[in-house]
């Protein structure tokens, strides 16, 4: 295992590289805040990086080696927090960017946490359940000395699940021979998970859409929405947009294709179709729709809910939605941000819109530490309070400084992280 105690200087520009986008965003916020040079260096690079190889026995007896990472970007405000992705196209720069955004996200929500992220380059769709378990446990064995409830707390992300989190927690507890449920969040309820975690990312995003509609004086009842990406966040957003906002979702897609129905898509039937077939494609009484056409639909709310760099300078002029609610991480490039802002589109940035997941993960930590668990109504009320307060802070910052919402969120977050670093004597 090769462990880097601190990261090297990282280049600052490379088109749509997510790390370079995150650094440009941080640089801009630091510039406007006039932060000292030391603070800027600490904010734009990870404090610690872990690069390692996981040797895992496959079902046929062979050994497969998987590259893996854990990036701890900044822990001035508290222990690192961030998910672990299992993805065949994972890159260290993507993990770095996600760790940076996680640092900003926890600060925007004013949670006592820092930012981290992990990843394994693998295709979980081609792994058996025993192989997936061995890979999950191998990751924790490699990272066991550098994670913990007061150090860095992993969580699920793309292609990782509550079951994966349970295996990881069990491996950690086996290594240290003690109960430590707070080392991992996003666990099944039966081993210390939290009620409300399954739809928390989407629910938090829906709360921010409600607040955006209020400031824009829009009535969303009966209005249309489109969802790009139909994983955990996107599928829950479909249900909650209907149930909490009274909206009509007319288009959704996943990695295999998209569907459109002018009269609206029934979330129960679409989700059942995907469970049965593996994709939304082929859903009855719908038409196929491409990703580009879905993004350009004239809807009230667009939910980018998949991966990075979906809205760029090449298609930002075609976005017709009034509100863009980013349930994905990094779906919009800086150049696209400027175009959308000029066109009067209201973007709810990812580090605010999708922060419901980390917020309920924090609630899970609190419940694990006290060994007392809250009911669903309490979780929803406290999540609503956190998201509403954070939305107001970002909107007020944007209005006061005359900037778009993403820059406002970065200004708010960078200032809060800087204050913690300054209090510690780091900068």
Q: Which residues are catalytic?
A: 117
**φ, ψ at 88 (rounded to 5°):** -70, -25
3-state secondary structure of 39: helix
For residue 317, give both structure tokens.
């002029």
CA pair distance 42, 44, nearest whole angstrom? 6
3-state secondary structure of 379: helix
Residue 225 has a CB neighbour count (10 Å cut-off) of 28
How far is Cα of residue 121 from the mean position of the Cα atoms in its chain? 18
CA pair distance 60, 247, nearest whole angstrom? 50
CA distances (Å), 22 to each of 107, 199, 363, 427, in order? 15, 26, 27, 21
Question: Between β-strands 115-121 and 224-228, what pairing exists: parallel, antiparallel or unpaired?
Answer: unpaired
List the one residue out of 39, 18, 143 whose CA is nearest residue 31: 39
Which residues have a Cβ under 8 Å from the Cβ of 94 and sit 6 or more positions away? 18, 19, 119, 308
Q: Return the half-sphere exposure (C-beta side, CA atoms, 13 A cut-off) of residue 236.
A: 20
CA distances (Å), 39 to each of 11, 51, 409, in order? 18, 25, 18
Which residues have a Cβ under 8 Å from the Cβ of 135 and sit 6 or more positions away? 54, 56, 66, 86, 120, 122, 127
């Amino acid at each position: 295992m090769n462990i880097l105690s601190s990261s090297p200087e990282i280049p600052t520009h490379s088109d749509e590289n997510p790390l370079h986008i995150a650094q440009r965003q941080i640089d801009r916020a630091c510039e406007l805040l006039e932060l000292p040079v030391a603070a800027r260096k600490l904010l734009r690079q990870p404090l610690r990086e872990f690069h390692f190889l996981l040797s895992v026995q496959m079902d046929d007896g062979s050994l497969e080696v998987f590259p893996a990472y854990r990036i701890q970007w900044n822990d001035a405000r508290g222990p690192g927090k961030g998910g672990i992705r299992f993805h065949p196209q994972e890159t260290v720069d993507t993990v770095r960017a996600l760790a940076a955004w996680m640092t900003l996200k926890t600060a925007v929500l004013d949670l006592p946490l820092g930012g981290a992220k992990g990843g394994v380059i693998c295709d979980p769709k081609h792994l058996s359940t025993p192989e997936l378990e061995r890979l999950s446990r191998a990751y924790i064995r490699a990272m066991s000395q550098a994670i913990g409830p007061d150090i860095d707390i992993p969580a699920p992300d793309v292609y990782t699940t509550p079951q994966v989190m349970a295996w990881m927690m069990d491996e950690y507890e086996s290594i240290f021979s003690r109960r430590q449920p707070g080392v991992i969040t996003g666990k099944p309820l039966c081993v210390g998970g939290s009620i409300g975690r399954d739809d928390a990312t989407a629910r938090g995003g829906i709360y921010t859409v409600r607040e955006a509609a209020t400031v824009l004086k829009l009535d969303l009842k009966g209005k249309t929405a489109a969802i790009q990406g139909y994983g955990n966040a996107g599928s829950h957003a479909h249900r909650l947009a209907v149930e909490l906002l009274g909206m009509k979702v007319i288009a959704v897609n996943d990695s295999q294709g998209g569907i459109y129905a002018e009269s609206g898509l029934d979330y129960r039937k679409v989700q059942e179709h995907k469970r049965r077939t593996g994709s939304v494609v082929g859903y009855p009484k719908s038409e196929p729709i491409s990703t580009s056409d879905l993004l350009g639909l004239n809807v009230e709310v667009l939910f980018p809910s998949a991966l990075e760099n979906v809205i760029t300078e090449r298609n930002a002029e075609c976005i017709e939605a009034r509100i863009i609610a980013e349930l994905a991480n990094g779906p919009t490039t800086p150049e696209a941000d400027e175009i959308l802002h000029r066109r009067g589109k209201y973007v709810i940035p990812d580090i605010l819109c999708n922060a419901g997941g980390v917020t309920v993960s924090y609630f899970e930590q609190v419940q694990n530490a006290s060994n007392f668990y809250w009911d669903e109504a309490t979780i929803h009320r406290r999540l609503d309070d956190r998201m509403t307060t954070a939305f107001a802070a970002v909107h007020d910052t944007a209005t006061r400084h005359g900037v778009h919402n993403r820059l406002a969120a970065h200004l708010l977050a960078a200032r809060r992280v800087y204050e913690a670093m300054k209090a510690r004597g780091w900068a």
